[in-house]
Amino acid sequence: MSRERLSVVVTRRLPEVVETRMTELFDVELRDSDAPLSRDELASAMRRADVLVPTITDIIDQGLLAQAGDKLKLIANYGAGIDHIDVATARQRGILVSNTPGVVTEDTADMTMALILAVTRRIPEGLAVMQAGEWTGWTPTAFLGGRVGGRRLGILGMGRIGQAVARRARAFGMQIHYHNRKRLRPEIEEELEATYWDSLDQMVSRMDVISVNCPHTPSTFHLLNARRLKLMKPSAVIVNTSRGEVIDENALTRMLRAGEIAGAGLDVFERGKEINPRLRELTNVVLLPHMGSATREGRAEMGEKVIINIKTFADGHRPPDLVVPSMV
């Protein structure tokens, strides 16, 4: 790249410290509104930018990339997930894609444990009673949940976040089990005291808690489908802080309503913000608005990674967090 300041377009509002630093380094176009860009606005941004900084709400598919023109050279995604970007088509058009891996590992693992506790200990139900002013005092049988210690936790996806969840769950006395595309090295299994299951079906049928921590890819879409969900014990709960598309949400809703699964904690949903309205009616379900990575520290670190990727590219080098099609 030339030594001239790169033209950078940011699609959403970012933390102030990130926007300030970008303004110092690049010819940056920031957003006054935090509303997502329309498809036409996104196409226009891609035509006038050297670098686009999108988020998970920006669907950059083959059709949109065809409208990008020749100016765009880097899509520096603000976030680790890149299933909203057609990376293969971007690379075919000579556009590099980078992301921000590893930044939100601890934050997301914290939220996973929070959901496990919220569901098993019925925290939202207690909160609702208190906020409504309906609590009449302590009784021996009110709001009985289940003890977390001793339960079998089955982690689906044992990457950075899955392993961070395992470490936390061990501290709570849970038994760690996992299914992953590749088995972990023996020393990591020993450290985590984790049991590997080659068969996802067999693991799902034996766990007390299932935690979804794998990315959304064509091979993981509806990985927990109706057939597999029916293998779960009626006393089991499921938590998802990864991607909503991994679970068949309609099947999950039916089973929760029928009492075939004891509860669920969901931070992500199959259709984004369009949540199955029947889920909202259930007291055994905890729903959160995609808060897994929502810490001030995490969002600032994500911005720092974006800036490093852009700056490295501007200096004529490979962005450190370059995404290649085989990773998707």
pLDDT in tens, 139-186: 999 999 999 999 999 999 999 999 999 999 999 999 999 999 999 999
- Measured CA angle at 239 (ends 236, 241), to 5 deg: 170
CATH class label, 105-287: alpha beta
Cβ contact 18:304 at 8 Å: yes
**157: which 2 tokens?**
């996806």
pLDDT score for 255:
97
Rounded Cα–Cα distance for residues 114 and 239 (Å): 10
Q: Would you tell me how many other CB atoms lie within 10 Å of the CB of residue 187?
A: 8
pLDDT at 326 (0 to 100):
60
Give the HSE-up count for residue 124: Cα atoms under 13 Å, Cβ half-sphere: 18
Helix, strand, or coil (residue 197): coil
Q: What is the pLDDT of residue 4?
A: 75
Helix axes 160-171, 105-120, angle to 10 degrees: 50
pLDDT given at position 328: 47
Backbone φ and ψ of 222, nearest 5°: 55, 35
- Per the CB < 8 A criterion, the answer to whether 162 and 179 are in contact is no
H or E element in which residue 306 lies: helix 296-314
**Eight-state DSSP code of residue 208:** S
Residue 73 contacts residue 50 (beta carbons within 8 Å): yes
Return d(Cα 74, Cα 307) in angstroms, integer: 12
Q: Which part of the chain has CATH 3.40.50.720?
A: 7-103+295-327, 105-287
- Name 153's bridge partners: 176, 209
User: Which residues of the chain fall short of a pLDDT of 50?
Assistant: 1-2, 327-328
Q: Does domain 7-103+295-327 have CATH number 3.90.550.10?
A: no
SS3 29: strand
